[in-house]
């Protein structure tokens, strides 16, 4: 079956612009995660959605970052007024349920802020 | 404060030999550990995991060892194959009753298996 898909695969934007990154999880997966991988770093947890529960936003680095998940499926990560330090690969993952340790990742969106 | 550490950024081994990738952690609340493999331009893929109630888990050529007293785990690949060349991430989660979905990752080790 189809895996996690993300779009765009690459995004170059000017400092100060807003960007939207999209994630389509695996069909039927109720849990969805966003991570960020900056150059030379490990994956950094950003936000977690599970069903209709309130999302865990504890990893969002600033209030310029927000995410939503519509209809329990597709998710959009929005970064407002982008800064150069936002340049990273943004990875989305999904899993069948809330207590499922193995997460299935998409290919990521490489964001470059110039 | 890095809670999951992979101190070797890279490792090079010959095809057919054993690859040993190491991972150390500092948070004693971690009770589940995972290894992910990542090829360039792809997302990480789950490889193998181990619960803190075990000290070894084996799946084909891959074995993960956990030493809780030393807060250390290792991934052994035997025999190594050129297709194993990738970045390997160690990850951990804490608390079966709560936020065990929140994985903490190391920075990764680039494994190169030479033919």
Residue pLDDT, tens place only, B51-97: 999 999 999 999 999 999 999 999 999 999 999 999 999 999 886 64
Q: What percent of chain A has pLDDT over 90?
A: 75
Separation CA B51–CA B70 (nearest Å): 15
Q: Is the pLDDT of residue B99 over 90?
A: no
Instruction: Using the structure block, give the residue that is written with the tokens 């000017």.
Output: A14
The whole-number pLDDT of residue A82 equals: 98
Per residue in B8-66, pLDDT (tens digit) is 999 999 999 999 999 999 999 999 999 999 999 899 999 999 999 999 999 999 999 99
The rounded mean pLDDT for chain A is: 92
The interface residues of chain A toward chain B in range 10-69, judged by CB-CB distance below 8 A, are 31, 33, 35, 40-45, 48, 50, 56, 59
Q: Pick the closest to residue B10 from B90, B111, B106, B82 (CA basis).
A: B111
Residue among A44, A102, A107 minimizing CB distance to B43: A107
The whole-number pLDDT of residue A38 equals: 92
Instruction: Using the structure block, give the residue that is written with the tokens 């690859």.
Output: B19
Separation CA A60–CA A27 (nearest Å): 25
The whole-number pLDDT of residue A99 equals: 65
Per residue in A44-79, pLDDT (tens digit) is 999 999 888 889 999 999 999 999 998 879 999 999
| B contact set with A (CB within 8 A) | 2, 4, 6, 32, 34, 36, 41-46, 49, 89, 91, 93, 96, 99-108
Separation CA A45–CA A43 (nearest Å): 7
The whole-number pLDDT of residue A63 equals: 95
Closest chain A residue to the Cα of B51, Cα to Cα? A101
Burial (CB count <10 Å: 0-12, 13-18, 19+), residue A53? exposed
Let me know: does B25 contact B4? Beta carbons within 8 Å: yes
Two tokens at A12? 């170059």
Confidence class for position B2, pLDDT limits 50, 70, 90: confident
Per residue in A85-96, pLDDT (tens digit) is 999 999 999 998
Q: Is the pLDDT of residue A1 over 70?
A: no
Confidence class for position A112, pLDDT limits 50, 70, 90: very high
Q: Is the pLDDT of residue B98 over 70?
A: no
Let me know: does A46 contact A60? Beta carbons within 8 Å: yes
Q: What is the 3-state secondary structure (H, E, C) of chain B?
A: CCCEECCCCEEEEECCCCEEEEEEECCCCEEEEEEEEECCCCCCEEEEEEECCCCEEEECCEEEEEECCCCEEEEEECCCCHHHCEEEEEEEEECCCCCCCCCEECCCEEEEEEC
Confidence class for position A2, pLDDT limits 50, 70, 90: confident
Whether the bond between A8 and the residue before it is cis, its omega within 30 degrees of 0, is yes
CB contact under 8 A, B104 and A45: yes
């Amino acid at each position: 079956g189809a895996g996690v898909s993300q779009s765009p695969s690459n995004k170059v934007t000017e400092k100060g612009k807003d960007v939207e990154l999209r994630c389509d999880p695996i069909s039927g997966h109720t849990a969805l995660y966003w991570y960020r991988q900056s150059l030379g770093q490990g994956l950094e947890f950003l936000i977690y959605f599970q069903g209709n529960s309130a999302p865990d936003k504890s990893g969002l680095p600033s209030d310029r970052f927000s995410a939503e998940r519509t209809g329990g499926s597709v998710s959009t990560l929005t970064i407002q007024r982008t800064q150069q330090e936002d340049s990273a690969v943004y990875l989305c993952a999904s899993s069948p349920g809330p207590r499922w340790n193995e997460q299935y990742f998409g290919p990521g969106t490489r964001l470059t802020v110039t | 404060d890095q809670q999951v550490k992979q101190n070797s950024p890279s490792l090079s081994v010959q095809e057919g030999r054993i690859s040993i990738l190491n991972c150390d952690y500092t948070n004693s609340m971690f009770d589940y550990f995972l290894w992910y493999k990542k090829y360039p331009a792809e997302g990480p893929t789950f490889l193998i995991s181990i619960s803190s109630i075990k000290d070894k888990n084996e799946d084909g050529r891959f074995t993960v060892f956990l030493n809780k007293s030393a807060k250390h785990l290792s991934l052994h690949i035997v025999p190594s194959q050129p297709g194993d060349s990738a970045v390997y991430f160690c990850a951990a989660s804490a608390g079966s009753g709560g936020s065990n979905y929140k994985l903490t990752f190391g920075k990764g080790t680039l494994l190169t298996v030479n033919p």
